[in-house]
Amino acid sequence: MIDSPTSPPTPPDQEVTFIGTVWTPWETRADCPRNVLEARARGGHATVELEPFYRAGLMGLERYSHVILLYWMDEAERDVLVQFPRHVSGARGVFSIRSPARPNPIALAVARILDIDAEIGRIAVEQLDCRNGTPLIDIKPYFPSIDSAPDAVVEPRGTDQAW
């Protein structure tokens, strides 16, 4: 006999805490590059600045060459599930493209660390594809042995490119 499901002892946390801010040269959404490759081709670097409370979390990060950054595309549409991307023919579901318009507008980038100043909570990284002042959700070290998928493929059914 299977017991009825019960509620968890503590309801799940449904809030996101912004731990800092991403600073880039792109002042408006219209200025933003379409992806990190385009952002890096334009040159420069981005700066990640942590709120004072989270600065201690940078301890040990200097051991890594790259980080995974998660940031909140706060101006993105959140109610679009089917889109018509310019780089492919036809409609695509939001979960099959890299558009910032999605139910939870979380962006992910792998970026090379250029400099870390843990005391003031700043990390200079390769350029990113978000507007100046974008809220930062999280920073994780990049592990090539875990985070890389050398056998990953995109089926050659059109001209798919990173969004």
Kindly state the tokens that stand for 39: 């952002």
Each residue of 50-92: pLDDT tens digit?
999 999 999 999 999 999 999 999 988 888 899 888 777 889 8
pLDDT at 96 over 60: yes
SS (H, E, C) the chain: CCCCCCCCCCCCCCCCCCCEEEECCCCCHHHCCCCHHHHHHHCCEEEEEECHHHHHHHCCHHHCCEEEEEEECCCCCCCCCEECCCCCCCCEEHHHCCCCCCCCCEEEEEEEEEEEECCCCEEEEECCCCCCCEEEEEEEECCHHHHCCCCCCCCCCCCCCCC
- The pTM is what? 0.84
Each residue of 4-39: pLDDT tens digit?
455 555 666 778 899 999 999 999 988 889 889 999
Give the domains, in start order, of the chain with CATH numbers.
20-144 (2.40.30.70)
Kindly state the tokens that stand for 38: 């385009």
